[in-house]
Structure 1
């Protein structure tokens, strides 16, 4: 059956039938100060993985991609390279590799290959297309702290944006809540495959993220309602108050788990504090919307005060001012090349921001935050690279590709599984028509776990959202629907 006719729903269902199995998401374990493993999660009676991944890779068999220029994502370039894929995993990468007997050969001579592109800041599914109020599910603008909400409970797999992103080479996305709140809720990481539910897209074993927001957004949203926070100092007070409560909640649960007799009732469970306490444990990664350098510096100090790490500052247009602090704090930054000046906190951006941070030895990422830009992330990286080289920073293509692959994977906690072309990694691979940093280049093939999900030469087989297929039934169908 052609996917253009069946849509995402039926293709996903067929994949599940063929696979005949499910995959659960690994639960996190925590340890006490002496390294002793604590009981699973905070509440031993609670299911710590109530919405597990049901993603099932399609069988890939044995595949050989030959003759391409490889940008591995691990900082190297291989000319005339070959990649061997077996059962959805990369088996070997190099030059002069023999093609195994029985392999399906993809001749990529004259073309370029990269790891699958990773967008670590997306709102696809939670702000789905078409952009109508009925699809506006990314911000819970009811309280400055909504750490209890989970983005996955808003993700609509029928968003046509997923197919558009796939055609731009995007194989993995972190989908986040919006930035109206100090604590916006949990993110979810997904594979960009046709699915009936978010669980069928959910990246197995990927940690959750916690969305936080600095600056103008929360103070505008809540200050405009005549309540705190109405200033940046109230923003910081709000973070600190929440972390104090989360630390106390964590302590109570740790004391309960470590007590020998466990007499009496356990602490009362709180969904908001569950998320914050797990962020303090390091089981949930902190992702902080933050534009200005001074605010990033403050947030690094808040993180030190409460002993948690910032996985990445998002947007971060002034990161070029503090690369030393970012490196010291082991925090990535995700940004654009030419998005700046659209509000005051975005005013002091420079196009070479990512390149400057990268050359200083800190972790730079190019992200989208947009359903159109997500289709062109390598081009956005090309602009940042060119601006850096104009300044004499000598950024090479094999380095710049890490901004949309390996570094993005690191920031969302899946670098051990994707982001580079290395043996053992998931075979998320893009075959480009030419240099991926050229404006004239398109994705020819996009493979996820070794299976071709998009083939530019066969448009009829491209995934199509059921939403886009429209109403094709007879008029009587519509008449019955109105009864």
Structure 2
């Protein structure tokens, strides 16, 4: 209930957000110096009275007393905090809009195995969440299909700069694929498979077996080219699963229970593909060492649990225990389950339950970047990385912290008036 009240408040304040975004944002200067702020680099020590110089799309220098090039836009960050743009690994923005006037396109529920559908084809760029997210310092998100299917479709990573879906596309980001185990795919198909976790695992093995055969057929054809062989029939569903076997897609798995995660690891071993992340993973703490050894990231809630049966055996210390075991941990919101502009507050809550300040910052910046495969480009303030920078009016972990400026690739997309 309170989440919906917050959403309503955010919706009625939307007019302010639209006017806060300057109409000249796309024409902002290509050289920006953010001066004299408390800089949280994430990659190193915090820099009091620090500067960040952005030239073009990229950060050029981070330090103190940097000289402003001629014609640079100067942002005075005195008394403010300067951080990397926050990264949300699990959002349904645009396919489950708030309010849901345009309808929901979160799940293609006609079949339990739907790797061929792409969430980019359903993202509604009129979703107010895009602009509301600037107030929470969000600059990059992964939009995922829902969890009604065992394989729900391909995700997309976006930079929240506005415009079209094409202009927001994070072009360096690898492709992603959403899978799901547990209660959600079980309850979606009624008397059709899967009606159990056994059925979901069987379907994964069945379709990856078919993909393996499909891949072998194409490899045989490619090896025998010029011998008048007829090529195998193209199958869009198997083509995507074959790309998983080729290592071309990052697999993100919706799962709550430890036994589900172990099942998924067994299946990945059987077919030779890697899992990039377990999403939610409320029982991850039970097998934290195994997850760490397998180099699987975890994107989890700060303290949301108990909302359904498979979320009962959880702990609010999940993130801290996973980090202690060496797992790359991101805090997520599962927007709109929790609105993604509250992501910074979710990280602050995780600190209450044992996450250090350093690890809390990593959990909303560099760690989600690693999970998405974009850590070379975003997630920290370092020379050569994208100029995705947020200037806050106070320590962002304090209640009431607000963004004053948000820049994406060196361009101002939000300025608080």
TM-score normalised over the length of structure 2: 0.91
**Cα 1:60/1:304, change in 2 over 3 Å:** farther
Q: Deviations over 1:326-377 (max 9, x none)?
A: 1111111011112100011111221121122112211000111123530111
1:256 deviation in Å? Answer: 2.0
Q: Does 1:241 align with 2:206?
A: yes
Aligned to 1:417: 377
Q: Distance in 2 between the 1:58 and 1:263 partners? A: 55
Q: Distance in 2 between the 1:263 and 1:343 partners? A: 57
TM-score normalised over the length of structure 1: 0.79
Aligned to 1:199: 166
Q: Does 1:182 align with 2:142?
A: no
Task: State whether residues 216 and 345 of structure 1, in contact with CA within 8 Å, keep that contact through their aligned partners in structure 2.
Answer: yes
Aligned to 2:236: 271
**Cα 1:308/1:58, change in 2 over 3 Å:** farther
Q: Distance in 1 between the 2:269 and 2:80 partners? A: 46
Q: Does 1:210 align with 2:177?
A: yes
Q: Distance in 2 between the 1:201 and 1:61 partners? A: 18
Task: State whether residues 352 and 385 of structure 1, in contact with CA within 8 Å, keep that contact through their aligned partners in structure 2.
Answer: no
Out of 75, 81, 86, which is 2:50 matched to? 81
Q: Does 1:118 align with 2:87?
A: yes
1:59 deviation in Å? Answer: 5.8
Matches within 5 A, 1:121-140: 121-132=90-101, 134-140=102-108
Count the aligned residue pairs: 402
Task: State whether residues 169 and 446 of structure 1, in contact with CA within 8 Å, keep that contact through their aligned partners in structure 2.
Answer: yes
1:445 deviation in Å? Answer: 0.9
Out of 276, 295, 298, which is 1:330 matched to? 295
Q: Per the alignment, in what secondary structure is the counterpart of residue 124 of structure 2?
A: coil
Q: Distance in 1 between the 2:162 and 2:303 partners? A: 32
Aligned to 1:343: 308
Matches within 5 A, 1:354-369: 354-369=319-334
Q: Distance in 1 between the 2:257 and 2:63 partners? A: 42
Q: Does 1:441 align with 2:406?
A: no
Uncovered stretches (5+) of structure 1, i.e. residues with no partner: 16-56, 390-394, 459-483
Task: State whether residues 382 and 437 of structure 1, in contact with CA within 8 Å, keep that contact through their aligned partners in structure 2.
Answer: yes
1:58 deviation in Å? Answer: 5.8
Q: Distance in 2 between the 1:358 and 1:435 partners? A: 23
Q: Distance in 1 between the 2:295 and 2:228 partners? A: 41
Q: Deviations over 1:430-468 (max 9, x none)?
A: 111111111121111111111111112x2xxxxxxxxxx
Q: Per the alignment, in what secondary structure is the counterpart of residue 251 of structure 1?
A: helix
Q: Deviations over 1:57-95 (max 9, x none)?
A: 766421111222222132532222111100121001123
Aligned to 2:10: none
1:308 deviation in Å? Answer: 0.8
Aligned to 1:280: 245
Aligned to 1:388: 354
Aligned to 2:123: 155
Q: CA RMSD in A?
A: 2.3
1:255 deviation in Å? Answer: 2.2
Q: Distance in 1 between the 2:222 and 2:376 partners? A: 31
Q: Does 1:230 align with 2:164?
A: no
1:278 deviation in Å? Answer: 0.9
Which structure's CA Rg is the greater one?
1
Task: State whether residues 59 and 87 of structure 1, in contact with CA within 8 Å, keep that contact through their aligned partners in structure 2.
Answer: no
